[in-house]
């Protein structure tokens, strides 16, 4: 199985609404067509709990890239955009890193970024972003809920992932939602 098959088998969603910034991830870990774990935590805090990061890809790649992003955040004193650009540059040019096929979703209170190994650092126009195989379903559901409901950001994230889980076989309902500021 190629890495590109692995990187899509998850769902991570970021939502910003009414001053609240949240990121949610499902808990399923699949190997091929087999569910290996149901309660994995795919979203974590970084840099003094001011940045949320989610990952779609192989676990070993995730840990490597998490460490590198954390080092960049430390170096640039929590400046997510600068850290993301520097990570993307390293990821694209490093002989070993450039073989990793993965996506990172990162957010702080001001920015929401999708970072890839091809050097992309994309800030979506809207207040939602998603990665992984269930990402398009969660993204569509979250956009609809933001536009047509009074639900808050954590509820939107949780409900959007539930919708994704009902469609994507690589997404489950073991959902973890983190909010920037929850540890303050």
3-state secondary structure the chain: CCHHHHHCCCCEEEEEECCEEEEEECCCEEECCEEEECCCCCEEEECCCCEEEEEECCHHHHHHHHHHHHHHHHHCCCCHHHHHHHHHHHHHHCCCHHHCCCEEEEECCCCEEEEECCCCEECCCCCEEEECCCHHHHHHHHHHHHHHCCCCHHHHHHHHHHHHHCCCCCCCCCCEEEECCCCC
Which position among 10, 81, 155, 171 bears the catalytic label?
10
Residue 87, token pair as written in the block: 């990570």
Active site residue 118: no
Q: Which residues are catalytic?
A: 10
């Amino acid at each position: 199985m190629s890495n590109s098959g692995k990187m899509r088998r998850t769902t991570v969603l970021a939502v910003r609404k009414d001053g609240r910034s949240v990121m949610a991830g499902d808990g399923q870990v699949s190997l091929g067509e087999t569910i290996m774990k149901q309660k994995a935590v795919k979203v974590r805090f970084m840099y003094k709990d001011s940045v949320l990061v989610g990952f779609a890809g192989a676990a070993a790649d995730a840990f490597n890239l998490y460490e590198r992003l954390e080092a960049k955040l430390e170096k640039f004193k929590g400046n997510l955009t600068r850290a993301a650009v520097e990570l993307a540059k390293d990821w694209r040019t490093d002989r070993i890193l450039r073989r990793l096929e993965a996506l990172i979703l990162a957010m702080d209170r001001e920015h929401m970024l999708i970072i890839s190994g091809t050097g992309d650092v994309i800030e979506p126009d809207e207040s939602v972003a998603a990665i992984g195989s269930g990402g398009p379903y969660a993204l569509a559901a979250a956009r609809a809920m933001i536009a047509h409901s009074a639900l808050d950001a954590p509820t939107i994230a949780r409900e959007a992932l539930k919708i994704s889980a009902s469609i994507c076989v690589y997404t489950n309902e073991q959902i973890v939602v983190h909010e920037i500021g929850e540890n303050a």
